[in-house]
Amino acid sequence: MAQILTKSTEHHRNAQLPSLNFHVAELPGLGTKDVLVKFLAAPINPLDVLVLANLYPVKPQHHHANEAIPGYDGIGEVMDCGAGVTELVPGDLVIPSKFGIGTWRTQAVVDVQYLQKVIRPHDFAFAAIIKISIAPAFCLVEDMCNLKPGDWIIQNAATSVVAQMVVQFARRRGIHTIGVIRDRSAGEADVVKQSLRGIGSDIVVLESEVTGHAEIRSKRIMLALDSVFGTSGRVLVKSLSPGGTFVQLGFLGGPTGKLELDANDIFGRQLTLKAFRGSAQVASRSAEEQTDLFNWFISLFNTGELNLPRLGLERVRWDAADKRGSEERLMEAVKRAQQGKLGQRKQIIEFM
């Protein structure tokens, strides 16, 4: 029997976002090209929140009881394979090869085309965030512009997992980073700044400190990564050096915000503006290239050259033997993700 979270087709009276339903169901039999997967870990990403709110263009591909199964990232173990599956064997570890697989469930029978084999990490949480957090961070550093050792990146939402991975990939190439965090109390800001410097961020400032910051103005900032949009994004635009690249990758400030530009940004400073969607950027590489890249990430993690986010993860236990307790923990975890409060850490579902 599998336990499954689905996106309800109904809405709570006092909530804008769809509710979730918890199911216990029998698994279907294996088809020729099917694989039985036991999930080991799956994150609750901002992308998942957008999916629940019907705001993400890529829809879930798997359903139960006519309701979509959320969860676009994660890692699982192959338990059994259909007669026509030659790519995988029981005991292999796999991550989704395509979005929409539905990882918020204890077990699943899926077509082998939806799975990608990876090597074993010493913490499943790392592999669970490869597709939506780690690989996009790598692509931001490698693909958005021609960065050289000594160049600087400035990024807001610096406490996010993607931003923390950007710092680590940039540091490997001799590229410096400036992290911009939301305004908060002095004591809390000091803790966050110290943590981000600990993973290699050279400068960490509050949003209100960026404008007029003498040290930032003296740097050759060639890449700005904006996850917020609006006023916060404008601060990054103003921080770029001539010839720099501004990349829009998120709308934490709300999708209805506006990014102000003036003639000097485009014609005077010759800035380049780009939009970034991690799934599309990763998909520009072949399946073989992706597998090699993901395994390289895990190898770096296993040897201590890459680390999980310094600000920590919040692990949410899904114990199949404790249905009621697991359901309560999962519902609360998704609710926290939907609220998006200041200081909320990345949540990882760990299956027991």
179 bridge partner residues: 155, 204
Q: Which helix (H) or strand (E) holds 166?
A: helix 161-172
**Residue type for position 83:** A
**Residue type for position 194:** Q
Contact 336, 304 (CB under 8 A): no
CA–CA dist 260, 244 (Å, integer) = 17
* Residue 147, both tokens: 């960065």
DSSP conformational letter for 136: H
CA–CA dist 226, 236 (Å, integer) = 7
Contact 351, 74 (CB under 8 A): no
CA–CA dist 123, 291 (Å, integer) = 18
Residue of 206, 331, 309, 226 lying closest to 274 (CA atoms): 226
Q: Give the catalytic positions in this structure.
A: 56
Q: Which helix (H) or strand (E) holds 348?
A: strand 346-351
